[in-house]
Amino acid sequence: MTIAAEATPSTIDAALPWGEAPDAGIWTDIPQRLLNLVGEAPARLGGDGRLHVGGVCKAWAHLARMPLPAALARPGPCMLRAVVHVREGGAGLYLMDASHASAPRQVLVHGAGVHVLELDTELAQASAQIVIRYPGAEEGMADFDVLLLQWALRPPGPAPARQDTPAPITLTDEEHHPAIRAVPPWRGDVAAGFLGNWVGTRIRQSFSERLAPMLPGFYAPHPPAANDEYFQWTDMLEAIDAAQGSFTMVELGAGFGRWVVDAWGAIRRKGLEAMPLLLVAVEAEPQHFQWLQEHFRNNGLDPARHRLIEAAVTGAPGSVTFCAGHAGAWYGQAIVPPDHGGQSEYPQAQVIEVRAVTLDQVLDGIAHVDLLDMDIQGAELDVCTASMSTMLAKVRRAHISTHGEEIEAALRQVFRAHGWRNLHDYPLNRTSQTAYGPISFGDGVQTWINPRLG
């Protein structure tokens, strides 16, 4: 088996979402794509960005590890934790350094279930390794996923109180939404430079720096965990199931076209390839739009047979100023004022002028839309208000990512005033209780059903 390239503390620091060490006591996510797979251990990094272990492990085997990021590596009290979903066997979390301090260095769990492995220990030196290991003194079977990996510093003394973000919830087949259970998960080979997800979509790794690398080989990805994207999956799959003889999906703020192409993947997994299909994707960021066309072709879709539009979607046609750039690291590009000062997190971002289209223009000549998926970074209220008559006449279901509390409140008023039925409503930047457990939402989620169209 090919071994993943080793990472160093400096390269890890460059890839992490922080510049300086986090404040003491604050849990900080560590991207699992930075883990190095060890030897021939039965471990891989999946398309969902997580470490998956499945197979026979040697006694106390190291399965994956990474050097402690230099920004965090300093002597003193520290905390490390992982959330794991064990299906068989067990899992271990180990902080390895050359010292022989009496502080605990590892925590082990055995038995099926979702477990929190947490170390509250003392780092004696700056050099250390975070290790995911097999927790047995004899060779045995292990089958588990790492849902979350986090690190925190803390001052000497008792660990401070903290508020934890719920980990994504791995569901059993019986716990999944019926529309997800109805899709046979894809299994197959992944070529170098690509990822493969559970509906068989081929995603070029260069499209996003946040995509976890996959080694070439055979994969069997799991259906999605219950996180803030779960309802995007269920809305898409329910819309496919409800389609009447053909399927049309529109994605506004499409990026590289992730969701429209995933819809095509799901249609293929359901054996519905012969159903007439129209995919519409609108994206204003120039590099993302180039990737959008490539993503279609990489998945057997001819862009000329669908409707791909390079533009921003607004409430009025013409042109707008738009903050673009950092395409591989950032998917939050948005309409901005002409005097916008740029993005501090993305110093090379540029304000450019782009074409602006209305939703009425996007849907011109289209008789019906089974699913409208909208993630347009704060323009959602203007677009829906300006084009509500067209939406009432053509759109059966709208899935909207929301970007402001005032926007969320106004959208509720607009949709309810026109008779739409609300299916999902989860506010942005908070943890909400769902049918699948507590889920932390960054963008908010609203789903609206148009009763006029069934």
Q: Is 119 strand, coil or helix?
A: strand
Token representation of residue 66: 């990474």
Q: Please report how the helices 258-269 and 286-298 are oriented relative to each other, as an axis angle in degrees rounded to 10.
A: 10
Superfamily of domain 178-453: Vaccinia Virus protein VP39 (3.40.50.150)
**Is the pTM for the entire model greater than 0.75?**
no
What is residue 82's predicted lDDT score, i.e. its pLDDT?
A: 86
Q: Please report how the helices 230-242 and 258-269 are oriented relative to each other, as an axis angle in degrees rounded to 10.
A: 50
Q: Which string of DSSP letters, residue by residue, matches 282-338?
A: EE-SHHHHHHHHHHHHHTT--GGGSEEEESEE-SSSEEEEEEE--TTT----EE--T
Q: Is 454 strand, coil or helix?
A: coil
Token representation of residue 137: 């003194």
Distance CA 122, CA 77 (A): 4
What is residue 111's predicted lDDT score, i.e. its pLDDT?
A: 83
What is residue 354's predicted lDDT score, i.e. its pLDDT?
A: 95
Distance CA 107, CA 135 (A): 9
Superfamily of domain 9-153: Galactose-binding domain-like (2.60.120.260)
What single DSSP character describes residue 199? T
Kindly list the domain boundaries of the chain, sorted by start residue: 9-153, 178-453
Q: What is the mean pLDDT of each run of 10 residues along the chain (454 residues)?
A: 34 38 57 85 85 90 81 68 87 71 65 80 69 86 88 57 62 92 94 91 88 74 91 98 96 97 98 97 96 97 98 95 84 83 69 95 98 95 97 98 94 96 94 91 95 86
